[in-house]
Amino acid sequence: MINALCGRIVSKTNAGLAAVTQDITCYSVGGELDTGSEIVSYKYNFWDTPGFESWEKNNIQSKIKEIIEKPETKPLCMIFCASPGTFVDLERLESLLDLCILEKRIFVVLVCTNKYAGQVKSRRAVLEDFNGLLSKYSKYSPKIENDITFYSNIGLCAAVNSEPYEDDDRILAVSGINELIYGITTSLVDEQVLKWCFVVLENKGFWNDCQQKLGGLTDSLDDKFNAIKKLFQRNQMQTNQNTSSTTWYDN
């Protein structure tokens, strides 16, 4: 998922029995952007964690706080992933959402990954659980666009396939990633939009898809980039270092 978002190899992947993340790992990625008037250096971090079903219940919030309260960490969003058929303790997940949404005001992204795996009803069940949880935090009705359910500035829920899905008689293409990136882009505000754009800056497939397939949606995306341009001008990038962090919780 991390690699799919960035459009490049960032994290190690393993399709074998040891594919599940075992330890909390930080993946740091940086680069430079020529704004026309100066070269801006940027850096962002992904914190990849084991599924918390293996953690002690009382340690979930303390482990996450340990990440998001690091001095240089300014989380853009928390992304929680679960595949169809995966067991997730909803009470523990709700505890994590309480921390992110109510206490830390971190945008939450709940993703059903490997959406083609298993039966359709399993995928629907994951999404129903995700939507049921997010609806508790929003006083507004959710909005659905491009198969993504938006809960205002609180979070969103989506289903994706970050790699081609193969079984004995068919191959299904990557699906939902570009829509997910776009959904996060339009949900964040002000400087957060700029930082998120740095995260996906090298994902050429996303930028091409925006122009070729998302049609009228690019109008609102252009508005975002005008805002980004103004941010550059207003702040004049007081420092040449723009650091942001994305917290990532994988299940």
- Give a yes or no: residue 5 inside a domain: no
d(C-alpha 139, C-alpha 116), whole Å: 32
d(C-alpha 213, C-alpha 70), whole Å: 39
- Give a yes or no: residue 15 inside a domain: no
Query: Angle of helix 191-199 relative to helix 177-187, nearest 10 degrees?
Result: 160
- Give a yes or no: residue 153 inside a domain: yes
| Residue 27 vs residues 13, 33, 46: alpha-carbon distances, Å | 13, 20, 5
For the chain, 251 residues long, give each residue's pLDDT as a single digit of tens: 899 999 888 877 655 444 445 578 889 888 887 767 778 788 889 998 877 666 665 566 777 888 888 877 889 999 999 989 888 889 889 988 999 999 999 999 999 998 888 788 999 999 999 999 999 999 999 999 989 999 999 999 999 998 877 777 778 888 999 999 999 998 998 888 888 888 888 888 888 887 655 444 445 555 555 555 554 454 444 434 444 444 454 44
Full residue range of the structural domain in which residue 92 is found:
44-186+241-250
Query: In which residue are the tokens 């609180």 written?
Result: 154
- Give a yes or no: residue 124 inside a domain: yes
Helix locations, 69-176, DSSP H: 90-97, 120-134
Is 106 in contact with 77 (CB distance < 8 Å)?
Answer: yes
- Give a yes or no: residue 198 inside a domain: no
- CATH code: domain of residue 148: 3.40.50
* Number of structural domains in the chain: 1
- Give a yes or no: residue 209 inside a domain: no
